[in-house]
C-alpha cells in the first residue's frame, strides 16, 4: 500500500501525476498493483483571464485486473477509480462538483482505453471510448517530444453519442526538485499543450518514489 498527500500551488494549471524511473535516468512504465492507492490535494489558478479556478481532493485506487471488450476486441486491463471532490470558483461564485472516474488501462503499456464518469451530485453518467488509446511512449527521457491525436466516443446513459477530437503535444523538458506537504521529490518535467480555442498549458511532474 502507498499513500501520499501532494499539495502544490503553482501559477499554471498543474496536473499532478507521479510515476517511476530507474537507475538509467529513463522514465519507465510504472508497476501498478491491486490495492495501491494515493491521496492528492490540488490547487489551480486561472490563466488567460478565464475568471475561474478550482481545488480539491483526488483519491485513486488500483482495482483487480479485468478484461473488457470494445467493438469485438478484448483488452486485458488494470482498472483504477478516481474519486474527485472539487470546489470551483467562477467570477467569485463558489460551487462543488463531485464525481468518480473509473479508468481502464491496457495492461501492456498503461494506455487509456475506456473510462466512465459518474457525477454524484448531478446524476450525470457516461462511458467514453478512446481511439487510438491514449498512451505515453515508454521509456521517456529529457528532450523527448511526442504528440497524441485521438477521438473520444462519449455515450451518455440516455444513449446520446458524441465524438470529441483531441490533440496534445508533449515535451519532457528536464528534471526538477519539487517540495510538497508529502516530502521532496526529484521529478521529470513534462509540458503539455492543447489548443482549445485558447492555448491550454499544463505541467506534470513525474517522480520515482510515488508510483502513479
Q: What is the pLDDT of residues 5-61, one digit of tens each?
A: 333 333 233 333 444 434 346 888 899 999 999 999 988 766 666 677 889 999 999
Question: Domain span at residue 73?
Answer: 5-206
Check pLDDT > 90 for residue 191: yes
Is residue 211 one of the residues assigned to a domain? no
Is residue 202 one of the residues assigned to a domain? yes
Strands (E), the chain: 5-8, 13-14, 20-21, 27-28, 37-43, 52-62, 66-70, 73-90, 93-106, 112-119, 125-134, 145-156, 161-180, 183-195, 199-206
What's the pTM value of the predicted model, to 2 decimals?
A: 0.82
CA distances from 154 to 26, 29, 102, 117, 200 (A): 35, 28, 14, 10, 22
Number of domains present in the structure of the chain = 1
Residue with cell 483526488: 58
Is residue 196 one of the residues assigned to a domain? yes
Check pLDDT > 60 for residue 125: yes
Is residue 212 one of the residues assigned to a domain? no
CA atoms within 13 A on the CB side of 106: 19
Binning pLDDT at 50, 70 and 90, where does residue 155 land?
very high
Is residue 140 one of the residues assigned to a domain? yes
Q: What is the pLDDT of residue 196?
A: 65
Q: What is the pLDDT of residue 71?
A: 87
Q: How much of the chain exceeds pLDDT 70, in percent?
A: 83
Least confident of 34-48, 63-77, 90-104: 34-48
Amino acid at each position: 500500500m502507498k499513500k501520499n498527500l501532494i499539495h502544490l500551488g503553482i501559477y499554471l494549471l498543474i496536473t499532478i501525476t507521479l510515476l517511476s524511473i530507474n537507475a538509467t535516468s529513463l522514465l519507465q512504465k510504472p508497476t501498478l498493483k491491486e490495492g495501491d492507492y494515493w491521496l492528492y490535494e490540488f490547487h489551480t489558478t486561472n490563466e488567460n483571464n478565464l475568471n475561474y479556478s478550482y481545488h480539491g481532493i483526488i483519491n485513486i485506487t488500483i482495482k483487480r485486473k479485468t478484461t473488457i471488450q470494445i467493438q469485438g476486441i478484448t483488452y486485458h486491463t488494470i482498472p483504477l477509480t478516481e474519486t474527485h471532490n472539487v470546489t470551483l470558483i467562477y467570477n467569485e461564485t463558489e460551487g462543488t462538483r463531485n464525481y468518480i472516474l473509473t479508468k481502464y488501462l491496457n495492461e501492456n503499456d498503461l494506455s487509456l482505453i475506456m473510462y466512465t464518469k459518474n457525477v454524484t451530485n448531478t446524476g450525470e453518467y457516461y462511458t467514453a471510448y478512446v481511439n487510438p488509446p491514449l498512451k505515453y511512449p515508454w521509456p521517456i527521457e529529457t528532450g523527448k517530444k511526442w504528440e497524441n491525436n485521438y477521438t473520444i466516443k462519449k455515450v451518455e446513459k440516455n444513449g446520446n453519442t458524441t465524438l470529441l477530437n483531441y490533440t496534445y503535444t508533449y515535451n519532457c523538458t528536464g528534471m526538477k526538485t519539487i517540495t510538497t506537504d508529502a516530502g521532496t521529490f526529484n521529478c521529470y518535467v513534462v509540458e503539455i499543450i492543447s489548443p482549445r480555442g485558447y492555448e491550454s498549458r499544463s505541467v506534470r511532474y513525474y517522480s520515482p518514489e510515488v508510483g502513479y
